Amino acid sequence: MASEHPRANLPPLTLHVPEPRFRPGDAADFVAVEVPPAGAAPRPDSAAEPRGMSELAYSLVRVLDDDNRAVGPWDPRLSPDALRRLLADMVRLRAFDERMFRAQRQGKTSFYMKATGEEAVAVAAAHALDRDDMCFPSYRQQGLLIARGYPLVDMMNQIYSNTADKLGGKQLPIMYSAKDFGFFSISGNLTTQYPQAVGWAMASAAKGDTRIAAVWCGEGSTAEGDFHSACTFASVYRAPVVMNIVNNQWAISSFSGFAGAEATTFAARAIGYGIAGLRVDGNDALAVYAATQWAAERARTNCGPTLIEHFTYRAEGHSTSDDPTQYRSAGEPTAWPLGDPIARLKAHLIQIGEWDEDRHAAQDKAIAEDVRAAQKAAEKNGILGHGLHQPLDSLFDGVFEEMPWHLREQRQMMLDEEAASGRPWARK
């Protein structure tokens, strides 16, 4: 007689597969999202030990309350002029996104990614960082360049890959690179920028410099090994770096639960590494500014890195190649409980008597005209829809400091084949 299995009375093992709460056709509501009152989160000294601030990784740093007032210990107390500049840069980013989105739909470029609903994440951070701090962005932080005054025409030239593209047509549209503006090259490979930022910060410290690094990734990218390697090095060497996780709820069509959001917050990842962790209302520009300013001071005074989770929402598609109506409820963007970052800052300025609807409408019009003028200027240099704009032999440039023999040989073979074909492959 066969012996009975010793665990025959136990149910079979199962796996949990995360599932978003709302799918297409569902009515969306976010009643399960905990939104603590503005001003409730404590603000520790920037030199405090990480082990004493773990509750900040689970709460939510908020400054703007439901009456559009700035309240609590995280209020950065910015001047009205500083608030207006912050608002204008967020408006400029949204206007830029709208025009470039339409340009893609018109066939003028192949690809674009909007930051709608996430404007505060990059713009407010740029205002809080020093101008020469090095930023290592992901692909939805174009607001860093806009807030630092990078010419819109140059951004558009890159999107169009035209004759004036400073990257020579070698990068996908929106993957900018601007060393002079403290903006490291965007990579399509997710989270490569995390160890790069930590390494840059370590090098800055090793040289006795005063510049710090800041880096961004989406919440889905925290599942990449690069993220965890970077956290280890940042923690061990107390690298002067601000590490940002943009939790916009969706990694293309995969909701944040696949990256661990059902189990805990993304800011909580900091605790296991002994890193200071903050969870911030990413649609509150003043909260983003305050958290970044606090983390930058911590880094600059040799108190170590900070991991900031920006709790926000991707209001539109992942990119122009994505249709979010295929995987999420159409009502989610309007149901999101933290509102619109531009509308909230505008309402705050009106509440304190430093702004009004007429001035806002005039600003919208003026910025839209500026963006339109920049687009006209950029399109004089060509658009991607009209084909290649760079000399063919430049394809091999910029790879090595000195081109090795085998690349010189390949380039010559290419040019010989072009000549033999009897027709130019690209404009010379």
pLDDT digit string, tens, across residues 309-363:
999 999 999 999 999 999 999 999 999 999 999 999 999 999 999 999 999 999 9
Q: Is 405 helix (H, G, I), strand (E, B) or coil?
A: helix
Q: Is the pLDDT of residue 1 over 70?
A: no
Q: Is 70 helix (H, G, I), strand (E, B) or coil?
A: strand
Q: What pLDDT sits at residue 2?
A: 57
16-34 burial string, b = 16+ CB within 10 Å, else e?
eeeebebeeeeebebeeee
Q: Tokens for 321, please give them.
A: 């190649």
Per-residue CA distances from 132 to 180, 190, 209 (Å): 9, 24, 11
Q: Which helix (H) or strand (E) holds 360?
A: helix 357-379
Stretch 18-38: mean pLDDT: 95
pTM: 0.94
φ/ψ of 123, rounded to 5, equals -65, -50
Q: What percentage of the chain exceeds 90 in pLDDT? A: 90
Look up tokens 């002029």; give the residue.
Answer: 81
Q: What pLDDT sits at residue 168?
A: 92
- Kindly give the pairing relationship between strand 241-247 and strand 213-218: parallel
Q: Measuring CA to CA, which residue among 130, 132, 128, 50 is closest to residue 292?
A: 128
Q: What is the pLDDT of residues 225-269, one digit of tens each?
A: 999 999 999 999 999 999 999 999 999 999 999 999 999 999 999
Q: What is the pLDDT of residues 46-99, one digit of tens each?
A: 999 999 999 999 999 999 999 999 999 999 999 999 999 999 999 999 999 999
Q: Tokens for 241, please give them.
A: 């770096």
∠ at Cα 59 (29, 251), nearest 5°? 55
Given a contact cutoff of 8 angstroms between Cβ atoms, the answer to whether 322 and 115 are in contact is no
Q: How far apart are CA 237 and CA 202, in angstroms?
A: 8
Q: How far apart are CA 403 and CA 394, in angstroms?
A: 12
Q: How far apart are CA 34 and CA 18, in angstroms?
A: 19
Least confident of 2-11, 181-190, 373-382: 2-11
Domains observed in the chain: 50-316+329-384 (3.40.50.970), 391-421 (no CATH)
Q: What pLDDT sits at residue 6?
A: 79
